[in-house]
């Protein structure tokens, strides 16, 4: 309905523009001047306020449902609301995932104006993650909610495969920061797999990828959230440090393993008390080795990605244009690309362009090293974390991975009809 209304308004405006061109205003000789006509812009700020209020309200409801009521149904209903409102009605933009790019651009470019709305959309889920875990991921994010609604079964991946795939969001985040900081492109917006579904149109390749992810979501819990989402990677860090730690039940775990089977993102850790304990010296050696590897992997990542900075800089339109101009000068017999013809037609100066490209490539060298260091550090930290072995007597939730979907509540025989609130229990 909203799209039909927009098309209708556009048609009326085009008719008015055609009418003005066909029937020009009279040219008065008395010196009369036509008053300036200002057309009021739509009250988008009102919708921005509605978005923020609804974002806070929905996350608060999820906290209440997860920590006090342990009600999966309420959390699931938030997924429906999120898909309908933030997804289809608001067309999935601006979302917290994409706001990373705006924040990075504002940090490196003082001339860039960061809207208050975008800043809040970026910060509020982080604040909730620090307090209660990945509340935003539960059913408030339209990307995760859409996958949650179609999920039917959960085929488990091995721990080794899962640990490897969870590195991809950090690589995605590193390159997102790189391209945003160098003002090249907003990578998340360009590759968002679900934006075409929400807008019912878009790039065919990206839409196809989104459909494939949705089909995968039927059998694998939230593949985009687990193995691609860069904002989810950020939230996992803050969630691991959260003030409140979610518990499946406040009545005592009986180790029935039903919660672990139900978790779509493999965020529930099984007891380890029955496993054979390794020699203490062996464990200490392994931890020391991983601690030594951490700075080495950080340095290796910085050198590896930094060495490719010139190739990566081709993502910037000015660098790409400059390379086309050099290629055209080296091979004048080649047909001129449209970009080269436009540059010459506008009287562009290649020396001036070269100075701009040199500055851009200097930025790329700096931020490429930072991006590579981030990737190397995350790999090293993941290895260090895997080397730590802690005993558990009951099933526990890994807050860094948990998306607070609430499925484990329905499976836990101890969690049915709880009488006490875990908000009042000790963390």
pLDDT tens, residue by residue, 343-376? 988 899 999 999 999 999 999 999 999 999 999 9
Say what the pLDDT of residue 388 is. Answer: 81
Residues forming beta bridges with residue 397, ordered by sequence position: 268
Query: Confidence class of residue 244 from pLDDT cuts 50, 70 and 90?
Result: very high
What does the angle CA 259 – CA 255 – CA 279 come to, to the nearest 5 degrees?
A: 110
Question: What number is the average pLDDT over the span 382-407?
Answer: 88
| Per-residue buried b or exposed e for 256-284, using 16+ beta carbons within 10 Å of the residue's own CB | eebbbebbbbbbbeeeeeeeeeeeeeeee
Say how many CA atoms lie within 13 Å of 347 toward its Cβ. Answer: 0
Tokens at 94, concatenated: 């601006």
Q: Are residues 81 and 210 in the same domain?
A: yes
Q: Are residues 248 and 285 in the same domain?
A: no
> Is there a domain that residue 397 lies in?
no
Say what the pLDDT of residue 21 is. Answer: 41
Angle separating helix axes 317-330 and 338-345, nearest 10 degrees = 90
Query: Confidence class of residue 32 from pLDDT cuts 50, 70 and 90?
Result: low
Query: Confidence class of residue 30 from pLDDT cuts 50, 70 and 90?
Result: low
How do residues 170-185 score in pLDDT, each as one tens digit? 999 999 999 999 999 9
Nearest partner of 411 among 315, 311, 268, 279, judged by Cα: 268
Q: Are residues 148 and 191 in the same domain?
A: yes
What secondary structure does DSSP assign to 84-96, as a single string? IIIIIISTT-S-T
> Is there a domain that residue 15 lies in?
no
Q: Are residues 187 and 86 in the same domain?
A: yes
> Is there a domain that residue 25 lies in?
no
Distances (CA, A) of 70 to 61, 197, 260, 404: 11, 31, 16, 10
Q: Are residues 86 and 225 in the same domain?
A: yes
Q: Are residues 286 and 244 in the same domain?
A: no
> Is there a domain that residue 105 lies in?
yes
Query: 280 pLDDT exceeds 70?
Result: yes
Say what the pLDDT of residue 93 is. Answer: 85
User: What burial class does residue 32 get, using C-beta atoms within 10 Å of its C-beta: 0-12 exposed, 13-18 middle, 19+ buried?
Assistant: exposed
Say what the pLDDT of residue 26 is. Answer: 59
Instruction: Count how many domains the chain has.
Output: 2
Q: Are residues 71 and 218 in the same domain?
A: yes
Distances (CA, A) of 183 to 41, 144, 302, 400: 28, 28, 20, 31
- Cα–Cα distance for residue pair 95/239, rounded to 1 Å: 19
Task: Quote the mean pLDDT of the chain.
Answer: 86
Say what the pLDDT of residue 17 is. Answer: 44
Say what the pLDDT of residue 25 is. Answer: 58
- What percentage of the chain reaches a pLDDT higher than 70? 85
Contact 157, 289 (CB under 8 A): no
Nearest partner of 178 among 357, 360, 353, 318, judged by Cα: 360
How do residues 293-348 score in pLDDT, each as one tens digit? 999 999 999 999 999 999 999 999 999 999 999 998 888 888 888 988 899 888 99
Where is average pLDDT lowest: 18-22, 63-67, 218-222? 18-22
Query: 7 pLDDT exceeds 70?
Result: no
Q: Are residues 89 and 169 in the same domain?
A: yes
Question: Domain limits at 140?
Answer: 51-253
> Is there a domain that residue 400 lies in?
no
Query: 147 pLDDT exceeds 80?
Result: yes
How do residues 71-116 score in pLDDT, each as one tens digit? 999 999 999 999 999 999 999 887 899 999 999 999 999 899 999 9
Query: Confidence class of residue 278 from pLDDT cuts 50, 70 and 90?
Result: low
Q: Are residues 82 and 196 in the same domain?
A: yes
């Amino acid at each position: 309905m909203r799209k039909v209304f927009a098309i209708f308004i556009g048609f009326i405006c085009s008719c008015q523009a055609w009418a003005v061109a066909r029937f020009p205003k009279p040219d008065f000789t008395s010196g009369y001047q036509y008053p300036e006509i200002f057309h009021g812009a739509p009250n988008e700020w009102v919708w921005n306020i509605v978005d923020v209020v609804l974002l806070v309200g929905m996350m608060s409801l999820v906290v209440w449902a997860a920590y006090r009521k342990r009600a999966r149904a309420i959390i699931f209903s938030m997924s429906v609301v999120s898909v309908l409102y933030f997804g289809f009605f608001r067309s999935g933009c601006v979302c917290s995932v994409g706001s990373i790019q705006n924040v990075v651009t504002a940090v490196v470019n003082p001339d860039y104006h960061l809207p208050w709305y975008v800043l809040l959309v970026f910060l509020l889920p982080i604040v909730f993650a620090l307090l209660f875990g990945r509340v935003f991921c539960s059913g408030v994010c339209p990307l995760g909610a859409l996958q949650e609604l179609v999920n039917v079964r959960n085929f488990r991946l091995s721990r080794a495969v899962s640990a490897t795939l969870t590195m991809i969001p950090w690589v995605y985040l590193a390159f997102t920061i790189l391209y945003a900081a160098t003002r090249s492109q907003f990578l998340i917006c360009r590759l968002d797999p679900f934006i075409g579904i929400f807008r019912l149109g878009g790039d065919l390749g990206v839409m196809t990828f989104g459909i494939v992810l949705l089909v995968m979501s039927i059998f694998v819990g939230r593949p985009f959230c687990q193995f691609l989402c860069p904002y989810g990677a950020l939230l996992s860090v803050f969630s691991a440090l959260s003030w409140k730690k979610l518990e499946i039940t406040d009545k005592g775990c009986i180790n029935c393993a039903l919660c672990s089977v139900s978790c779509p993102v493999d965020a529930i850790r099984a007891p380890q008390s029955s496993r054979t304990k390794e020699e203490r010296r062996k464990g200490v050696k392994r931890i020391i080795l991983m601690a030594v590897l951490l700075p080495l992997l950080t340095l290796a990542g910085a050198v590896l990605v930094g060495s490719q900075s010139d190739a990566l800089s081709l993502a910037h339109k000015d660098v790409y244009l400059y390379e086309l101009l050099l290629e055209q000068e080296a091979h004048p017999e080649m047909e001129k690309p449209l970009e080269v013809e436009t540059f010459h037609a506008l009287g562009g100066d290649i020396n001036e362009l070269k100075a701009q490209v040199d500055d851009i490539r200097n930025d790329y060298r700096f931020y490429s090293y930072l991006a590579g260091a981030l990737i190397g550090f995350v790999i090293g930290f993941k290895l260090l974390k895997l080397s730590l072995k802690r005993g558990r007597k009951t099933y526990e939730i890994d807050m860094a991975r948990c998306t607070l979907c609430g499925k484990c509540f329905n499976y836990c025989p101890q969690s049915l009809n709880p009488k006490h609130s875990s908000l009042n229990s000790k963390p």
